[in-house]
Amino acid sequence: MNIAVFSTYSYDEEFLTQHNTGHNLTFFKLPLNLQTANLVQGFTAVCVFVNDTVNAEVLSAIKQHGVRLIVLRCAGFNNVDIKAADALGIPVLRVPAYSPEAVAEHTVALMLTLNRKTHKAYNRVREGNFSLERLLGFNLHNRKVGIIGTGNIGKAVCNILNGFGCNIYAYDVYPDAALEALGVTYAPLEDVLRDADVVSLHCPLMEGTRHLINAETLKLFKPGAMLINTSRGGLINTPDVIEALKDRQLGYLGLDVYEQEGSLFFQDLSEDVIQDDLIMRLISFPNVLITSHQGFFTREALEQIATTTFANVDAFAAQQELVNRVVV
């Protein structure tokens, strides 16, 4: 099968080539959008990532060029108009789970770095500054941590934090019996947010969860609490979070995702003037730590993404059951 792979970098080519099951791959560094849709001529399938735009217009354009399959090399699918794809008869297949521990471990790394300020200590010592002033942190042990969403990644975060001795509260439409047995307490969203020392987001981005963290829900936070988001940027209303940081209602913010990341993340913009005023404001806070959608970036995760992606393609080619098809 001829597959056009969009938004690719060296690591995408390495792992997809290594685990290819016999398909013809053409790699494009450009993202898929309406301006680049003409590149899919002659391809049966397109392989896309989180910041590719696969809306109704793009779907119609690539359908006219002969595309019959969309494979996502990620779990999230909020950038794809699934209803429009179904109407056009184009199945959308995803990678529902790829080393949830990778994202979970990065989540906890953000917590620990913000708390113990190891990034600041590293820079200080390199400059010969061995002072401990303004590096004071807090014990995670016995702290209340609120986990929003206990799917594969949220569950992995709970398991790690349980080892720290945290008091874990969780909100999810479907409570996990194994986590309850571990000691995790499920409660309504308001109760999970209220008085939590750390809140970590692990739910999908849907209409009901967009801007879940906003001016009203931030009022429930314990003054000085930490907020971590390694899920989807749209879960947070960025201007509201900036106000909460300014008012010190929010004490720490760790982001691996950002609502407008499509024009920023995965690129080297060090020589450019960044036009996004919101992210530049966030970067200016000393208690904010931002990584560029790095949580998934481990060898194990990339191997799983590649093998599942090709298993999806092979199932479509063999007219087998599409177990990873996105259905809404």
User: Which residue in 194, 261, 281, 321 is the catalytic one?
Assistant: 261
Residue 25, strand partner residues:
3
φ, ψ at 112 (rounded to 5°): -70, -40
Catalytic residue among 73, 94, 232, 259: 232
Task: Give every CB contact of residue 200 below 8 A, 6+ residues apart in sequence.
Answer: 107, 111, 145, 146, 147, 148, 154, 157, 227, 228, 229, 230
Residue type, 311: A
Compute the distance between CA of residue 220 and CA of residue 231 in angstroms, rounded to an integer: 21
Angle of CA points 295, 53, 72, to nearest 5°: 55
d(CA 203, CA 214) in angstroms, rounded, equals 15
Catalytic annotation on 68?
no
Q: Are 11 and 46 in contact (CB under 8 A)?
A: no
Annotation marks residue 194 as catalytic: no
Strands of 74-224 (E only): list them.
92-93, 144-148, 167-171, 185-186, 198-201
Active site residue ranges: 232, 261
